Chain A
Amino acid sequence: MRVLGLDIGSRTVDAVWLEDGRVVDWAVADSGFDPGSAAAVLVDRGAHDLLVSTGYGRHAARERFGGSVVTEITAYGRGASALFPDARAVLDIGGQDTKVIALGEQGRVADFEMNDKCAAGTGKFLEVMARALGYGLSEMAEAALAADRGVAISSMCTVFAESEVTGLVHRGEDRARIARGLHDAIATRTLGSLKRIAAGGPLVFAGGVARNPAMVALVTGGFEGDVLVPAEAQIVGAYGAALSVED
């Protein structure tokens, strides 16, 4: 049986095809302004017997392609624990949401936290800040990693932080240190959330922002237990969604 897991996120659409529980193919596309059509291109790439959608566009995907839905929280928990059976926590920083998940037996979600409303401290936040600093996204991460220290950033709100960054730039602060400060701020907030519900680990760091080396270094440095980053951090949700048909 061939199962397609589809994760329609705010920034990317990810697809994973499983054959008897093993990954046989996967693909990632930009969500763009028409994520449904981006997903359709992926769906048409190969045949499937069952489809499970997750992510922001999950309900729209079910209407368009059929199948079932599962939230990205359950999907990330399932995917992360399949990749790392000892995992006890998952951190998923995506384009628009940050989720911290505590795992119980067999990858079941025992508890979770997720940002309420805005895109504070997410991939989108980093994109906006990179633009304000005149960096490319990976360029900013490298600069942050290389900086000797960070400038304190007080706001996690994308709009307020952008003003704050502009103010710092005009004061002549070093932009690499500002970049480091932005990453520090996200890491501090995330680690606080982890401490509340999932201290100890091992922790799986997944989602698009897990591809950012500065965030990985800061989360790893600040977390008490082991931090595991999957090779393809972005598709853990689609993988978990596909695996969820077994449950």
Chain B
Amino acid sequence: MSDTVETVDYTEMWEGLGLNVPAHCALLKAIGPAYESVYLSQENRPEGMGYFDFVMSEIHGLRIQELQDHKADGGTVIGTFCVYVPEEIIRALGGQSIGLCAGAEWAFPEVEQVLPRNTCALIKSFMGFKLGKVCPYIESADLVVGETTCDGKKKAYEVLGELHNTHVMELPQMKRPEDRALWRAEIDRLVAELERLSGRTLQADALTAAITEVNDKRRALQRLNAARAAAAAPISGKDALLAVQVAFYDDVPRLTQMVNAIADELEARIEAGVSVAPADAKRILITGSPMAIPNWKVHHIVESAGGVVVAEELCTGSRYYDTLVPEDGGTIEEMLDAITDKYLGVNCACFTPNEARVDDIVRMAEEYGADGVIHYALQFCGPYQFEGFTVEKALREAGIPVLKIETDYSMEDAGQLSTRVEAFLEML
């Protein structure tokens, strides 16, 4: 970003990955200004966010170079789209887990040749990045691990499977003992697949270390997010969201260290009463469909309208970092049992029933002192669109104001969304 930083030319690396370099340049040219206007225009940001500014400026550069170096050292790169894919197992087998690009409209006309138009923007986006050859992450991935969290993804992975090495985990949609047994078997299948891919065998000490490392990342994110419960918001919702989004693909120990540094700063800000929002800013909890980078649409609208987002009950939010894998060690089998239970404990809308998600939202609204909740569903994201009704009803019964939004990645509804969000804030 700064003139003093030497700009590295990554063109050769991108060509080597088979990217469509001119199209990729156009993508980067769009992301830079978007990040500037959404992020760098904010005032009084924590200094630690400088790390994320740097990461974003190198989103397809330095991090991709690191992944190539990691592969050259014999490691693997595993692409994922979901919080259910166990990062611990990937790391224990010498892999780096990378959340793949799915947050921007790209090559949708091409996507609509292979997927129905009425598919959610997230799925269309990852397919667009693949078809358009503009995502260096997926092109670096030795394997994409998919999961059956919704019909759209499930069927899209069949198409992706023709273009890329893909392994799909069957995520059960209920949480009974027999479903747990299925998921446990899927964990074993993943281990076998990754052992085959990496040529390594899963070792207990490596798994123990990976569990601790990934838990440390979650603990750091828990600390950062706990600070947002303070009456004077020490960080914007946009910045907190970005930290989680980046956590999906950044180097784990480094990210942990950087997030902890921000948490230190936020804790000091709380002591000193420093806030990024006026004292009377309305506090909003956002729940619903995942927000992949660079999808900052709803947060940006809320915070441009004078509100402050204090928590996310999202896969790019609490569902990502809220629960830990127990660290009591034991045999590989015992650790895989613990991993099975931890991941099955996530309350995604693909499960039925899924009352625990509603409990999570109500509890978080209280913990974070939210004045209102925005339920955000991507258009055509069936599971969250359906649960929007359940959540709305439960929140009304709990006396918590709620605004339901259905949208996608386009800006055509920005005017109407702003009006609705502003009116919601005025109402609170």
Residues in A lying within 8 Å of B, measured CB to CB:
56, 70-74, 97, 108-112, 114-117
Contacts and interface: CB of A to CB of B under 8 A. Distances in A.
Nearest to A119: B416
Interface of B: 401, 406-407, 412-413, 415-416, 419-420, 422-423, 426-427
B413 A112 contact: no
Contacts of B413: 116-117
Nearest to B396: A111
B419 A109 contact: no
Contact of A73 (B401, B406, B419): B419
30 contacts: A56-B419, A70-B426, A71-B419, A71-B423, A72-B419, A72-B423, A73-B423, A73-B426, A73-B427, A74-B423, A74-B426, A74-B427, A97-B416, A108-B427, A109-B423, A109-B427, A110-B427, A111-B401, A111-B427, A112-B423, A114-B416, A114-B419, A114-B420, A116-B406, A116-B407, A116-B413, A116-B416, A117-B412, A117-B413, A117-B416
A72 B423 CA distance: 8
A116 B406 CA distance: 7
A109 B424 CA distance: 9
A122 B21 CA distance: 45
Contacts of B415: 56
A108 B422 CA distance: 14
User: Which residue among A70, A72, A109, A116 has the maximum number of chain B CB atoms within 10 Å of its CB?
Assistant: A116
The 5 closest A-B pairs by CB, nearest first: A73-B423, A71-B423, A117-B413, A109-B427, A74-B426
Contacts of B422: 71
Given A97-B419, A109-B423, A117-B412, 9 more contacts: A70-B426, A71-B422, A71-B423, A74-B427, A108-B427, A109-B427, A111-B427, A114-B420, A116-B407
Contacts of A74: 423, 426-427
A71 B416 contact: no
Max count, chain B CB within 10 A of own CB: residue among A72, A114, A115: A114
B276 to A, nearest CB: 21
A108 B413 CA distance: 26
A166 B158 CA distance: 40
A115 B401 CA distance: 18
A14 B354 CA distance: 48
A87 B370 CA distance: 29
Contacts of A71: 419, 422-423, 426
A25 B407 CA distance: 40
A70 B418 CA distance: 12
Given A56-B415, A72-B419, A117-B412, A112 B427 contact: yes
A73 B427 CA distance: 9
A113 B415 CA distance: 15
Contacts of B412: 117
A108 B423 CA distance: 11
Nearest to A56: B415
Nearest to A102: B427
A71 B419 CA distance: 6
B176 to A, nearest CB: 35
Nearest to B406: A116
Nearest to B425: A71
A190 to B, nearest CB: 17
Contacts of B420: 73, 112, 114
A117 B419 CA distance: 11
A74 B423 CA distance: 6
A115 B413 CA distance: 10
Contacts of A108: 427
A67 to B, nearest CB: 16
A71 B422 CA distance: 7
Contacts of A115: 416
A56 B419 CA distance: 8
Contacts of B416: 97, 114-117
Contacts of B426: 70-71, 73-74, 109
Nearest to B412: A117
B311 to A, nearest CB: 23
Contacts of A111: 401, 427
